[in-house]
């Protein structure tokens, strides 16, 4: 089964909402980005694209595209799911790295929303701090890693090598 790895990091700044996995998290700062800055969904998108051999999020949604400014990352997920065509998502595992806010109490809600956006596939979500180390540990940014596993959609033949 093809597996893809995704990583993303966004800077935390004033006067932005904080969206993680499509869930609005109450916090004094939010993630800077051309889109809504949802670092978790971006990592998931790169994991999906990677597993399907479809390049990366920057190819699919170029920074210079003015129509993507402020775009809801949930819409980006929907577009990538449509790109997968002969693949179906089997499993997604996500690790958020944030010193603040504390995400432990939000893990269930974020995992549930990512799962919904992916059509109900199992999503496991872990939240870690960076132990006070570096820019992540100083609360300057939030990062996310994701792994996705795909399987051939029923009724499609697996390509033979
Ligand atoms: Mg991003």
Mind listing the pLDDT tens digit for each residue in 36-83? 999 999 999 999 999 999 999 999 999 888 888 989 999 999 999 999
For residue 16, report the distance from its CA to the centre of ligand 1, in Å: 15
For residue 65, report the distance from its CA to the centre of ligand 1, in Å: 14
For residue 39, report the distance from its CA to the centre of ligand 1, in Å: 5
For residue 161, report the distance from its CA to the centre of ligand 1, in Å: 34
For residue 51, report the distance from its CA to the centre of ligand 1, in Å: 18
* Tokens describing residue 74: 């949930």
User: Model confidence over 79-112: pLDDT tens digits?
Assistant: 999 999 899 999 999 999 999 999 999 999 999 9
Quick check: 30 pLDDT over 50?
Answer: yes
Q: Is residue 158 part of a domain?
A: no
User: How confident is residue 161, by pLDDT bands cut at 50, 70 and 90?
Assistant: very low
For residue 144, report the distance from its CA to the centre of ligand 1, in Å: 9
Predicted pLDDT of residue 160: 52
For residue 49, report the distance from its CA to the centre of ligand 1, in Å: 14
* Domain limits for position 96: 3-152
Q: Of the ranges 40-49, 118-127, 148-157, which one carries the lowest mean pLDDT score?
A: 148-157
pTM: 0.95
Predicted pLDDT of residue 39: 98
For residue 135, report the distance from its CA to the centre of ligand 1, in Å: 17
Q: How far apart are CA 56 and CA 50, in angstroms?
A: 7
Q: Is residue 159 part of a domain?
A: no
Q: Is residue 161 part of a domain?
A: no
Neighbours of ion ligand 1 (CB under 5 A): 8, 42
User: How confident is residue 156, by pLDDT bands cut at 50, 70 and 90?
Assistant: low
Q: Is residue 160 part of a domain?
A: no
Which one is predicted more confidently, 159 or 149? 149
Q: Is residue 33 part of a domain?
A: yes
> What is the CATH number for 146?
3.30.1330.50
User: Would you tell me how many other CB atoms lie within 10 Å of the CB of residue 28?
Assistant: 10
How many domains, in total, are found in the chain? 1
Q: For the chain, what is the mean pLDDT?
A: 95
Q: Is residue 157 part of a domain?
A: no
């Amino acid at each position: 089964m093809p597996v893809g790895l995704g990583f993303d990091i966004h800077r935390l700044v004033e006067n932005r909402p904080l969206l993680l996995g499509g869930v609005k998290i109450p916090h004094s700062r939010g993630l800077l980005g051309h889109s809504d800055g949802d670092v978790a969904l971006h990592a998931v998108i790169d994991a999906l694209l990677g597993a399907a051999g479809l390049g990366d999020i920057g190819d699919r949604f170029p920074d210079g595209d003015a129509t993507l400014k402020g775009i809801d990352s949930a819409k980006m997920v929907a577009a990538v799911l449509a790109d997968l065509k002969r693949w179906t998502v089997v499993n997604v595992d996500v690790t958020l790295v944030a010193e603040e806010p504390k995400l432990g109490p939000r893990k269930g809600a974020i995992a549930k929303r990512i799962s919904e956006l992916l059509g109900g596939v199992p999503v496991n979500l872990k939240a870690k701090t960076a132990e006070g180390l570096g820019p992540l540990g100083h609360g300057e940014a939030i990062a996310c890693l994701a792994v996705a596993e795909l399987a051939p959609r029923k009724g499609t033949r697996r390509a033979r090598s």
